[in-house]
Amino acid sequence: MTYLLGVAGGTGSGKGTITELITAHLTLWGLTSHTVSTDNCYRDFSYLPESDRDAMCFNPDLNFDHPNSVDFGRLFTYAKNLKEGRAFEYTQYDFSIHTYGQHKITVPANLDVGIIEGIYALYPNSEHTENLPALYDHRIFVATTPSLSMGRRFLRDTQERGRTLEHAVKQYQTTVAPMHDQYVYPTRLRADDIVEWRGDARNHEDITKAKLMEIARQKALLIYEAVKSPLLPTLNPSTISISNLS
């Protein structure tokens, strides 16, 4: 069985960055891994005209940050395949057209570590997702300040997804922030580990980078030792005395 990690958190919280740094450490230490983003588990809206798909960004009832837009059956299947060490293939979601594109991603069999990363990685909603959190060997929720996550979201939408700044701001205010407060943030209660980090107040990028790398290294060490079962001995609680603890 593959060790399965779930990494959730709000948009722009740094969950993707920390996931990438965790996998970089695992690769450095000789473990194989693959990350499936919940971004690649949206429902197929190709039946809608492109203008209607784009309008979903501002629909408070059904938008790309609402859990109803996620195909949790698809997500559960990917997680199950990872957990059971199966080789499989999935299609990458194309945010420029709000539907699935042509690019296929191949996942090899028998990986050491599988990761599900995204805002709804820990969300229970249906018969599939109620089982999803139970599949994970470890669950992490990543959080940061609203101002930092908002700035990161704007940069991603304008630089990577072809949005205008006006579009990104309107979407954040209309759907992203409300969906986070109502649906995403409460999933932290399902996490084994809550990571709260802050950018350096003086905007020292090297300090922020070092902080994120240290957080990721700590998490990667826990995973590495769990996979290797374990590398280091642990203390026996019955042999330890802690003052002022009854």
Residue 126 has pLDDT above 70, yes or no: no
Q: Where are the alpha helices (DSSP H) in the chain?
A: 15-28, 50-55, 72-83, 132-135, 146-159, 165-171, 177-179, 205-228
pLDDT of residue 206: 83
Do residues 94 and 100 touch, judged by C-beta distance below 8 A?
yes
Q: Which residues pair with 237 in a beta bridge?
A: none
Tokens 């940050």 locate to 65
pLDDT of residue 202: 58
User: How many C-beta atoms lie closer than 10 Å to residue 127's C-beta?
Assistant: 9
pLDDT of residue 50: 86
Average pLDDT for 114-122 = 97
DSSP secondary structure, 172-196, as one string:
IIIIIHHHIIIIIGGGGGG-SEEEE
pLDDT, tens digit (0-9, with 9 covering 90-100), for 196-245: 998 765 567 788 889 999 999 999 999 999 999 888 888 898 888 888 77
Which percentage of the chain shows pLDDT scores above 90?
A: 66
146: tokens are: 């609203």
| Full set of structural domains in the chain with CATH | 3-230 (3.40.50.300)
Which residues lie closer than 8 Å to 203 by C-beta, 6 or more apart? none
Average pLDDT for 28-53 = 93
pLDDT of residue 161: 80
Q: How crowded is the C-beta side of 113, counted as CA atoms within 13 Å? A: 30
- Residue 42 DSSP code: B
Confidence of residue 163 (pLDDT cuts 50, 70, 90): confident
Tell me the C-alpha distance between 195 and 191, whole Å: 10
Tell me the C-alpha distance between 78 and 74, whole Å: 6
pLDDT of residue 131: 83
Mean per-residue pLDDT of the chain: 91
